[in-house]
C-alpha cells in the first residue's frame, strides 16, 4: 500500500504544478519521463512555501511557514510525510542527495517575504534572488545530472543565472501586485513611485546578462533535460521581450502575459530548432 500512497503523492505534486504554471508544466512534460516526478516534486514544494507567504494573510503566516519548515525537515529525516507534497519532495531530496543548505537558503528567502515594506539593499536583493530562484535551479540541476557531481559543478553557475533571470522577470511582471497588494519592492534603490523607462532599461540589461549565461548552460545539459529547459527559457524570453516593449507606466498598471496560443507557437518553433540542432 505504500506504493499506492507514493503514487497519490506524485500525482498531487503534478496537479499542483499544472494548476499554477502552464509554462513550467509544459517544460516538465518535455523532459525525459524519468525526470518528471522529481521536478514536479520540487515545483510543488517551492510553490506551497511561496503560497504561504503570498496568500494566507488572514492567518498567522509565520506560524504556517515555521510549521512547513519543521514538516519538511521531519519528512527528509524520516523518509515519509502524510503531506503528499512533502512526501514526494523528501523522496527526491534523498534520491539525489540534494543539499539541505539549498533548502535552508530557499526557506530563508520565503521568510524574508514576511516583512513587507522593507527596502532592499543590493546585498538583500542578491540574498533573496539566491534563495528564491538560484538554489531552486540547483535543486533541479541535481536531478538533471542524475547525481553526476562533476556535471553538476560544471553547470552550477549557469543554472543559478537562469533561475535568477526567471525570477527578475517575475519581479517586473508582478510589479503592480507586489507593490500595491503585498507591499513589496524587490529591486534595490528604487522608489516605485518614480519607476520609469530609464530605470526599467537598467533592470532589463541585468536580466539580459543572466539570460545569456543561463543559455550557455542549457546547451550543455544532458539530452534528457535539454529540450524541456530550453522551452521554459523560450517562454520566459518571449515574456521578457514583451516586457521590454511595454512602457514603464503600463508595467505598473497591469500584469504582462503571453497568451497560451502564443506559447504553443513558441513550442513548435522550439521543437524545430532543437530537432535541427540549432540551439
Give the contacts of 243 (CB within 8 A, at least 6 positions apart). 169, 172, 173, 204, 251, 256
pLDDT band, residue 89 (cuts 50/70/90): very high
| Residue-wise pLDDT tens digits, 136-147 | 999 999 999 998
| Percentage above 90 pLDDT, the chain | 78
> What is the pLDDT, as a whole number, of residue 121?
92
Query: Minimal CA–CA distance to 166: which of 127, 129, 116, 138?
Result: 129
> What is the pLDDT, as a whole number, of residue 72?
98
Q: How far apart are CA 266 and CA 55, in angstroms?
A: 31
- Please determine, for residue 122, whether its predicted confidence score (pLDDT) is greater than 60: yes
| Residue-wise pLDDT tens digits, 31-58 | 999 999 999 999 999 999 999 999 999 9
Give the contacts of 117 (CB within 8 A, at least 6 positions apart). 183, 184
- Please determine, for residue 27, whether its predicted confidence score (pLDDT) is greater than 90: no
What's the whole-number mean pLDDT along residues 250-262? 84
> What is the pLDDT, as a whole number, of residue 261?
76
What's the whole-number mean pLDDT along residues 87-115? 97
What Cα–Cα distance (Å) separates residue 71 from each residue in 38, 79, 88, 137, 139? 19, 11, 13, 22, 19
pLDDT band, residue 194 (cuts 50/70/90): confident
> What is the pLDDT, as a whole number, of residue 183?
86
Specify the CATH number for 2-275; select among 3.30.420.40, 3.10.580.10, 1.10.600.10, 2.60.40.1180. 1.10.600.10
C-alpha cell at 249: 507606466
What's the whole-number mean pLDDT along residues 204-230? 95
DSSP string, 218-248: HTTS-HHHHHHHHHHHHHHHHHHHHHHTS-H
> What is the pLDDT, as a whole number, of residue 125?
95
For the chain, the domains span 2-275
The total of other beta-carbon atoms located within 10 Å of residue 81's CB is 19
- Please determine, for residue 274, whether its predicted confidence score (pLDDT) is greater than 70: no
Q: How far apart are CA 268 and CA 26, in angstroms?
A: 12
> What is the pLDDT, as a whole number, of residue 142?
97
| Percentage above 70 pLDDT, the chain | 96
Helices 33-55 + 135-144 axis angle, to 10: 160
> What is the pLDDT, as a whole number, of residue 263?
74
DSSP code of residue 83: S
Q: Pick the residue with more confidence: 66 or 269? A: 66
pLDDT band, residue 277 (cuts 50/70/90): low
Identify whether the C-beta of residue 239 lies closer than 8 Å to the C-beta of residue 173. Answer: yes
Identify whether the C-beta of residue 100 lies closer than 8 Å to the C-beta of residue 76. Answer: yes
The total of other beta-carbon atoms located within 10 Å of residue 238's CB is 16
The total of other beta-carbon atoms located within 10 Å of residue 64's CB is 16
Q: Give start and end residues of each alpha helix (H) in 121-196.
A: 122-129, 135-144, 149-173, 175-180
What Cα–Cα distance (Å) separates residue 25 from each residue in 4, 91, 150, 172, 258? 23, 20, 28, 22, 15
What's the whole-number mean pLDDT along residues 199-220? 96
Query: Minimal CA–CA distance to 141: which of 151, 131, 130?
Result: 151
> What is the pLDDT, as a whole number, of residue 271?
63
Q: Tell me the average pLDDT of the chain.
A: 92
Amino acid at each position: 500500500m505504500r506504493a499506492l500512497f507514493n503514487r497519490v503523492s506524485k500525482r498531487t505534486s503534478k496537479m499542483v504544478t499544472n494548476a499554477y504554471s502552464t509554462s513550467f508544466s509544459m517544460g516538465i512534460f518535455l523532459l525525459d519521463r524519468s525526470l518528471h516526478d522529481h521536478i514536479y516534486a520540487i515545483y510543488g514544494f517551492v510553490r506551497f512555501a511561496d503560497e504561504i507567504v503570498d496568500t494566507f494573510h488572514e492567518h498567522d503566516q509565520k506560524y504556517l511557514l515555521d510549521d512547513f519548515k519543521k514538516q519538511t525537515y521531519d519528512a527528509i529525516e524520516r523518509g515519509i510525510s502524510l503531506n503528499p507534497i512533502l512526501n514526494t519532495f523528501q523522496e527526491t531530496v534523498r534520491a539525489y542527495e540534494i543539499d539541505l543548505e539549498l533548502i535552508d537558503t530557499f526557506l530563508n528567502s520565503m521568510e524574508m517575504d514576511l516583512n513587507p515594506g522593507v527596502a532592499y539593499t543590493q546585498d538583500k536583493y542578491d540574498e533573496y534572488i539566491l534563495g528564491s530562484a538560484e538554489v531552486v535551479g540547483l535543486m533541479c540541476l541535481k536531478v538533471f545530472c542524475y547525481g553526476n557531481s562533476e556535471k553538476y559543478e560544471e553547470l552550477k553557475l549557469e543554472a543559478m543565472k537562469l533561475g535568477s533571470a526567471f525570477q527578475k522577470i517575475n519581479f517586473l511582471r508582478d510589479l503592480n501586485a507586489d507593490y500595491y497588494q503585498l507591499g513589496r519592492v524587490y529591486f534595490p534603490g528604487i522608489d516605485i513611485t518614480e519607476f520609469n523607462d530609464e530605470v526599467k532599461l537598467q533592470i532589463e540589461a541585468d536580466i539580459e546578462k543572466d539570460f545569456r549565461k543561463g543559455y550557455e548552460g542549457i546547451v550543455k545539459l544532458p539530452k534528457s533535460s535539454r529540450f524541456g529547459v530550453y522551452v521554459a527559457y523560450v517562454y520566459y524570453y518571449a515574456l521578457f521581450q514583451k516586457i521590454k516593449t511595454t512602457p514603464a507606466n503600463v508595467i505598473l498598471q497591469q500584469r504582462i502575459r503571453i497568451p497560451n496560443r502564443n506559447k504553443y507557437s513558441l513550442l513548435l518553433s522550439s521543437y524545430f530548432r532543437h530537432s535541427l540542432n540549432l540551439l
